[in-house]
Amino acid sequence: MTATAHRAADTLPDVDRPSFARLMLSEWTKLRTVRRWTVALLAAPVLIILVGVLTASSSQPGALDSPLVGPDGTWVQDRFHFVHRPLTGDGTVTTRIASTTLEFSVPPEDGGDARARDVERTVWSKAGLMIKDGLRPGARYAAVMVTPGRGVRLQSNFTTDIAGPAAGAPTWLRLTRAGSTISAFQSADGLSWDPVGTVTVPGLPQTVEVGPFVTSPTATLLAQRQFGSIRLGQYPTTTRAVFERPTLEPAGAPGTGSGEPSDGWQDDEVDDSAVQAGTPPAPDRAGGKGPQAAPPPAVWAGDRLTLVGVGDIAPRTPGEDVIKQNLTGGYAGLMAIVAVAVLFVTAEYRRGMLRTTFAASPGRRRVLAAKALVVGAVAFVIGFTASVAVLLITQPIMRDNGFLPPVYPDWSLTDPTVSRAIVGTAAVLAAIAVFSLALGTVLRRAAGTVAAVIVLIVLPQLLASGLPPVAGQWLMRLTPAAGFTIQQTIPRYDHVPRICVPENGCVYDQPWAGFAVICAYALVTMAVALWAVQRRDA
């Protein structure tokens, strides 16, 4: 039979064509009646579950003694230099920040000036005004601050971050408390005030501590890769901020009554390092070389206050993504699915059966589309069922192994991130199945297609850890391997810098971006296959 004959057949009236539903039914019948395909399709969920259980039962969290938690139970760090006085009831605190200076040193062998600019660009040093529920690390707070390069921000309770005007020091800042509502303002001249934002801090007691604060985290940057392990550059920083005329209205209890501008202000360092002791550095944003030494005490010169701070006020996230780890079996399961999806079309080419199929339903594109839908749907169902099953099985195992809140928060299958990971795994497997089927249609050879698909999906994962970080990352981003990005569930905070390396499963910031890549592969290959199947002899 020639291609011309088939094209002529395409123009037959619709009554001679089987309906699309019948086409799908016949393709489904083909798929389920080949015994070894059924065996392979049943092996896929078994592999996903087995690998997941193996991963879960052989994972241990680091030794976490007593991680610090914020007001909502989030794992946090809380260390800063605080000059404060009590405020009872409502009130307003105002100051001018004359200057902020970031101090750190970069060894010349790490890249000198360019590296220093990277540190300045990355680090979220903070200087401003804070209202806090006492001096206990992890207590409720709201703060307005200048952050070099990122303007004025209003932050509260570690996880909330509101961007204000793009101003830096020198600038005026103001924080106003009315009940549990705290509003922040910024001004260039101390006369006309622009609002930065308003936050609600529930549970704030009647009496709080207010005043200027400074903190300055350790910058963590990616250094070179060495034989499969990533070296991170850790650069502890110090920020020196000069505040002018910090004033609280109403002034509250005076100190000694000396009338000096410093009168009534107390100098303390809020330091979580005692609480955090024993906490291993999280790989993505690590404390690294142990806690920094305490900064020198605050210095008053008239109404000018010089404050030096180290530390950070921010949420922390664990290095391992528990959900993504337990869904690792997707890599094993996909190999069985790829083999079946490829054979689903190449076996028909090989046996010449495709000619019979096309004779029975001359609309070749419809046949291919029906095949793709059937194999994609089967892969989706397998992926979905196996993901739900593996997470239900591994959750108690992970808890027994010590993956407990606050570092590893409790989760349920209905959490948006967890359900996205489950549906995402199923959708990625479906996209891979369609990609395999389409590539099999184009190449018509089982051996080459199976090897090519598995090489494209599995090997970037391994090779990425042997390449320089940037090359490894682009390898992961541009190959279908990126699809599994959709499994990531660790919360991302825009106000917390993080190191994105393939080892952490970090390929794209946005989980959906990786899914889009695998879908693009599937759609483009499918388009080529639809074109080829029409043009070529069967």
Partner 1 sequence: MSAVHAIHAEWTKLRTVASTPWLLFAAVAVTVGISAMVTAGASSRTCPTPSICLDDLPRLGLTGAQYGQIFVVVLAVLVMSEEYTTRSITMSLAAVPRRWRLYLSKAAILTGVVVVVGSLGVLGALLAVRRLLPGTALSAANSDQSLSLADGPTLRAGYGTVLYLALVALLSYGVAAILRDTAGSIATMLLLLYVAPILTSIITDPAWLKRIEQFSPMLAGLKIQATTALDTLVIGPWQGLGVLALWAAGALLAGLLSLQLRDV
Q: Give the footprint of partner 1 on this chain (CB under 8 A).
A: 36, 40, 47, 51, 54-55, 57-60, 109-110, 223-227, 231, 320, 325, 328, 331-332, 335-336, 338-339, 342-343, 346, 350, 446-451, 454-455, 458-459, 461-463, 465-468, 471, 503
> Shortest gap between Cβ of 527 and partner 1 (angstroms)?
23
> Shortest gap between Cβ of 340 and partner 1 (angstroms)?
8
> Shortest gap between Cβ of 110 and partner 1 (angstroms)?
7
Q: Closer CB to partner 1, residue 37 or residue 185?
A: 37
Cβ pair 323, 491 in contact under 8 A: no
Q: Closer CB to partner 1, residue 13 or residue 228?
A: 228
Q: Closer CB to partner 1, residue 197 or residue 383?
A: 383
By the 10 Å C-beta count (0-12 exposed, 13-18 middle, 19+ buried), 447 is classed as exposed
> Shortest gap between Cβ of 501 and partner 1 (angstroms)?
12
Residue at token pair 């780890």:
325
* Cβ-Cβ contacts under 8 Å for 237 (sequence gap 6 or more): 102, 103, 104, 119, 123, 125, 216, 217, 218, 219, 310
Which letter does DSSP use for residue 464 in this model?
A: G
* Cβ-Cβ contacts under 8 Å for 216 (sequence gap 6 or more): 102, 123, 125, 126, 237, 238, 239, 309, 310, 311, 312
Q: For the residues of 368-425, what is the DSSP string, one character each?
A: HHHHHHHHHHHHHHHHHHHHHHHHHHHHHHHHHTT--TTTS----TTSHHHHHHHHHH
Q: Closer CB to partner 1, residue 291 or residue 330?
A: 330
Residue at token pair 């300055």:
216
Strand duo 151-156 + 266-270: pairing: unpaired
Q: Closer CB to partner 1, residue 182 or residue 386?
A: 386
> Shortest gap between Cβ of 440 and partner 1 (angstroms)?
9
Residue at token pair 């100098």:
267
Q: Closer CB to partner 1, residue 215 or residue 328?
A: 328
Q: Closer CB to partner 1, residue 99 or residue 461?
A: 461
Distance of CA 282 to the CA centre of its chain: 14
**Residue 131, by phi and psi: left (phi above 0), alpha (psi -120 to 50) or beta?**
beta
Q: Closer CB to partner 1, residue 199 or residue 398?
A: 398
- Output the CA–CA distances (angstroms, integers) from residue 69 to 66, 214, 275, 400, 417, in the order listed: 9, 21, 10, 21, 21
> Shortest gap between Cβ of 66 and partner 1 (angstroms)?
21
SS3 at position 302: coil
Structure tokens at 207: 């009496």
> Shortest gap between Cβ of 536 and partner 1 (angstroms)?
18
265 vs 137: CA distance, rounded Å: 19
- Output the CA–CA distances (angstroms, integers) from residue 63 to 20, 55, 278, 402, 481, in the order listed: 58, 19, 7, 9, 32
> Shortest gap between Cβ of 35 and partner 1 (angstroms)?
12
Q: Closer CB to partner 1, residue 463 or residue 520?
A: 463
> Shortest gap between Cβ of 230 and partner 1 (angstroms)?
12
Q: Closer CB to partner 1, residue 264 or residue 472?
A: 472
> Shortest gap between Cβ of 115 and partner 1 (angstroms)?
11
